[in-house]
Structure 1
Amino acid sequence: MILPVILAGGSGSRLWPLSRELYPKQFLNIAGEQSMLQQTLLRLQGLEAHLSDTECAAPFIICNEEHRFIAAEQARSANIEHSGILLEPVGRNTAPAIALAALQALSHSNNNQQSESDPILLVMAADHHIARTTDFQQTVARGVQYAKQGKLVTFGITPNAPETGYGYIKQGEPLSQSAYAIECFVEKPDRATAEQYIDSEQYLWNSGMFMFRASRYLEELAEHHPEILAACKLALATQNNDLDFIRINAEAFKSSPSDSIDYAVMEKTSHAAVIPMDVGWNDIGSWSAIWDVNDKDEYNNVIEGDVLTVDSQHNYIHAENKLVATVGVENLIIVETKDAILVANKDKVQGVKSIVSQLNQAGRTEHVHHREVFRPWGKYDVIDLGKRDKVKRITVKPGHKLSLQMHHHRAEHWVVVAGVAKVTNDEKTYLVEEDQSTYIPLGHVHSLENPGDSPLEMIEVQTGSHLSEDDIIRYQDSYGRDVKYKQSDSPQINKSN
């Protein structure tokens, strides 16, 4: 059986201001109508048709703790089943993440008599673009026989240009017409070296996609980097399942060295194989890559949103909220969001990461989250902020409820714009309908729920001396977030609510 493992971590800082720490590129619709995670999951549909005697299980997703609800919602909205979502408490690169997947796969197989005892893992990143799905599936199918032989297979992209932003794999002796031993991995080259690689026809781009038995990866990891394996075993020993999510021991996982699978295993093993893959692959690592993979107009502009152009060519222009107009410009990246505008030369887009570093050093938040912030119950948008007041537009999904909470430094006024709100306000519980409002005084324990079957839209006006999101004491929460106090610690709450 093949178990696809989708690595959905990372912050995608080179794609700021669309990609933010709390909503990174793998969850964005930047190369099609679905998000990159959804495209990766959908790419697996139909794979089994290319496998002669091997079944394909539902994909297993690994993501950061703070992205868990986004990943789960995107899989649900695309109607894609999965085998679970494992949450990394901290990032430790790909070698530990894949070790967690392998250990979990073997543990699940041992506890489920219907599962294969040692599945083949197909490891994929959630943020890669692949233009030709059928070619991808056929190439993956060719890797199965080598994984069954105990090989650690990687898929090398057939290069079409001397790229300096990718690592390379040098092909060794042929194992068959479609697979090669690996002579070596090489780091990102300079332009002259990359041209030599292309001319030699012996090098492939390092895609970061792998296929191997779960047990074989763990055997190689035990030989070449046992500290990672030990930490991951300890982290999974006390796992906790919460809805679709698998939580592991955070302190144990933090003790793992941070290393990529390339450095930890693939460069050291004598059992590696590479299969060339020509599928229209792009790792979407920069704004210029977004321009490469999207459809262009007659002037080679990629245009998204409300945009007008005059005498402009070879640009990527993305407008979310305002009209963006250009006159006489070329080779630019222009991205407009609610709280930021990026203008960059298309040949200098690697410098976007430096902007993100400046935001971080200045203590700003534009690199962390968008003005519109997504929560498991819905979303909110901060539409105005003063010294002692903040205005939010809040959307609560049908059947969802915000945590039971209290604020020390602010009061809140709620106005329902559409739908019906069920409000808990200290000992009272009541409904607030469209065009009605309610007031939550400072220090009152309160909650908000949407009991209807359509989205609840409301305006919240906060007033007080401290309006940060850290002024919150939770007593109850439906989504596994930290609860600092028990409900019984607050005598104001009606225990029947």
Structure 2
Amino acid sequence: MILCGGSGTRLWPSSRESMPKQFTRLVSEQASTFQETARRVTDGATFAKPAVLTHSDARFIVAEQLSEAGVKADILLEPERRDSAAAVAVAAVHAAKHDPQGVVMILAADHVIGDTKAFVAAARAAAIGAKAGYIMTLGIEPSAPSTAYGYIRRGSTLGEAPGAYTVERFVEKPDQGGAERLIAEGALWNSGYFLFRADVMIAELEAHAPDVLRAAKAAYEEAQRDLDFVRLDAAAFGLAPKTSIDYAVMERTAHAGVLPVSFSWSDVGTWDAVWQVLPRDGSGNALRGRVEVLDTENSLVHSEGEQVTTVVGLSDVVVVTTPDAVLVTSKANSGSVKDLVSTLRAKSYPEADAHRRMYRPWGWYQRIDIGERFQVKRIMVTPAGRLSLQKHFHRAEHWVVVKGTAEVTINDRVVLVHENEAVYLPIGSMHRLTNPGKIPLELIEVQVGSYTGEDDIIRVEDIYGR
């Protein structure tokens, strides 16, 4: 079960609510961390068909990225975020439906692992302890006394699983001195990966967090099929207490085990962590996009879009530029970006959560310009993509096709619009845009009217169930 519901605000402005870090290509230029996580569990000799638990708003991004990665998975939708205890409970209930004693592995969608073979071997080894009735976790051998992670103090050897130990206790994120003492004592980083038999986790939830289990069971039993997704029941799921699986079960159970592992691992939770996993030049700089630096060292400079980002005479900094926002921080303070985003939200900055490019099940749109009584957008519709049948009360629209062919519905009329052709949609007209071709359709939309907000859309019909 891949948990895919976080928002990753510490990696703003690249990661935002509308496109969280697990779906972006922050580390690899070929795939998102979610896609790499999904591919990591495709070894049929070890893993069954994976399942993904994500927020309803991200369902089409998940489906598209799984398709791009060539991975088939069940997709379960959370109506709201209730933290990891409810997510793990749903995973256990989902697995128990197929095999009550089946072994479940909980994975985060945003982690970076350097050695897939070592990861698969660790999963197989930890599964031995899980089959014996333990709730196993993978404990990462620390590479430094980090204050960014929780720790696990191991106890006695676990006879049922070679190389594994019982868990003496879990330790919250320590200060620097505490981290150094924990490492000296042989403690491990808490990766957040868990392996357990479905029936064992259900029993532990029943004993330690019955309200969480009750809500998860009801939400799963009342779930509805929606296209290729399974929607958990909103009313039932909303009754689950908002708490972590660490607090709800792992810190209370008598059946916790840990397998130490030494493969490279990062939860890339901050820009400093991103710098640590990226390739660096001879001056220690990690550079992405259109970037030039001079007399700069040990820094991360990340540029998205067509603009050039330049840095002169700085050390140990993070500079991130996107088409609509710029972040400059020291690496040491990059963990405070989350607090910055909270400030932006409190002051109603739309950039806090929304990218200029907004993804939709049919493709995406990107604002080019906006002013009083007008807005200009670039729109891309994937082959066979179809926007909802809709109308607007406050604006008219002009569409100019620049690539591909558009099938445009205007009231009772359907017309084909080719490259370098345009169509006009009057205020109040019922209209729809479809890509009937085999290549992406791109067009420029010019909106003119007294109001151009996204909430001036009356949907009459939508194949995506919005």
Q: Provide the TM-score with structure 2 as the length reference.
A: 0.97
Question: 1:291-330 maps to which residues of 2 (within 5 A)?
Answer: 291-321=275-305, 322-330=307-315
CA RMSD of aligned residues (A): 1.1
The equivalent position to 2:76 in structure 1, one of 78, 86, 94, is: 86
The equivalent position to 1:101 in structure 2, one of 91, 101, 108, is: 91
The equivalent position to 1:454 in structure 2, one of 419, 422, 439, is: 439
Q: What corresponds to 1:485 in structure 2?
A: none
The equivalent position to 1:366 in structure 2, one of 325, 336, 351, is: 351
Supply the distance in 2 between the matched residues of 1:181 and 1:104 (Cα, whole angstroms): 27
The equivalent position to 2:9 in structure 1, one of 1, 9, 13, is: 13
Tell whether 2:464 aligns with 1:479: yes
Letter in 2 for 1:106: A
Letter in 1 for 2:32: S
The equivalent position to 2:200 in structure 1, one of 216, 232, 240, is: 216
The equivalent position to 2:378 in structure 1, one of 382, 388, 393, is: 393
- Deviations 1:97-132 (Å, cap 9, x if unpaired)? 11112112222x2xxxxxx45311011100111111
Q: Provide the TM-score with structure 1 as the length reference.
A: 0.91
Supply the distance in 1 between the matched residues of 2:146 and 2:385 (Cα, whole angstroms): 47
- 8 Å Cα contact 2:75-2:230 kept in structure 1: yes
Supply the distance in 2 between the matched residues of 1:66 and 1:331 (Cα, whole angstroms): 36
Tell whether 2:59 aligns with 1:75: no
Supply the distance in 1 between the matched residues of 2:36 and 2:165 (Cα, whole angstroms): 29
Structure 1 vs Structure 2: percent identity of aligned residues?
45
The equivalent position to 1:247 in structure 2, one of 231, 247, 250, is: 231
Q: What corresponds to 1:268 in structure 2?
A: 252
- Deviations 1:208-231 (Å, cap 9, x if unpaired)? 000001111011000101001111
- Deviations 1:254-303 (Å, cap 9, x if unpaired)? 11101111111111111111111111011111000000000001111101
Q: What corresponds to 2:145 in structure 1?
A: 162
Tell whether 2:105 aligns with 1:122: yes
Secondary structure at the aligned position of 2:174 is classed as coil
- Deviations 1:73-97 (Å, cap 9, x if unpaired)? 0010011111x10000100111111
- Shift >4 Å, 4+ stretches: none
Instruction: Count the aligned residue pairs.
Output: 462
Q: What corresponds to 2:56 in structure 1?
A: 65
Tell whether 2:465 aligns with 1:468: no
Q: What corresponds to 2:32 in structure 1?
A: 35
Supply the distance in 2 between the matched residues of 1:457 and 1:61 (Cα, whole angstroms): 31
- 8 Å Cα contact 1:47-1:137 kept in structure 2: no
**In the TM superposition, what is the alpha-carbon distance from 1:311 to its structure 2 partner?**
1.0
Tell whether 2:142 aligns with 1:152: no
Supply the distance in 2 between the matched residues of 1:102 and 1:392 (Cα, whole angstroms): 44
Letter in 2 for 1:206: N
- 8 Å Cα contact 2:324-2:356 kept in structure 1: yes
Residues 161, 47 of structure 1: alpha-carbon distance in 2 compared, 3 angstrom cutoff = farther
**In the TM superposition, what is the alpha-carbon distance from 1:325 to its structure 2 partner?**
1.5
Tell whether 2:369 aligns with 1:379: no
Supply the distance in 2 between the matched residues of 1:80 and 1:340 (Cα, whole angstroms): 33
Supply the distance in 2 between the matched residues of 1:354 and 1:94 (Cα, whole angstroms): 22
- 8 Å Cα contact 2:100-2:197 kept in structure 1: no
More off after superposition, 323-332 vs 451-460: 323-332
**In the TM superposition, what is the alpha-carbon distance from 1:244 to its structure 2 partner?**
2.1
More off after superposition, 145-154 vs 15-24: 145-154
Secondary structure at the aligned position of 1:160 is classed as coil
Letter in 2 for 1:36: T
Q: What corresponds to 1:227 in structure 2?
A: 211
Structure 1 unaligned spans of 5+? 49-54, 110-115, 482-497
Letter in 2 for 1:453: K
Q: What corresponds to 1:283 in structure 2?
A: 267
- 8 Å Cα contact 2:164-2:260 kept in structure 1: yes
Supply the distance in 2 between the matched residues of 1:278 and 1:443 (Cα, whole angstroms): 62
Letter in 2 for 1:471: D
Tell whether 2:118 aligns with 1:135: yes
The equivalent position to 2:340 in structure 1, one of 355, 359, 365, is: 355
Q: What corresponds to 1:402 in structure 2?
A: 387
**In the TM superposition, what is the alpha-carbon distance from 1:237 to its structure 2 partner?**
2.0
Secondary structure at the aligned position of 1:366 is classed as helix
**In the TM superposition, what is the alpha-carbon distance from 1:471 to its structure 2 partner?**
0.8
Supply the distance in 2 between the matched residues of 1:480 and 1:300 (Cα, whole angstroms): 48
Secondary structure at the aligned position of 1:424 is classed as strand
**In the TM superposition, what is the alpha-carbon distance from 1:47 to its structure 2 partner?**
6.8
Supply the distance in 1 between the matched residues of 2:268 and 2:91 (Cα, whole angstroms): 24
Secondary structure at the aligned position of 2:451 is classed as coil
Q: What corresponds to 2:411 in structure 1?
A: 426
Supply the distance in 2 between the matched residues of 1:431 and 1:286 (Cα, whole angstroms): 47
**In the TM superposition, what is the alpha-carbon distance from 1:326 to its structure 2 partner?**
1.6
Supply the distance in 1 between the matched residues of 2:233 and 2:158 (Cα, whole angstroms): 41
- 8 Å Cα contact 1:151-1:273 kept in structure 2: yes
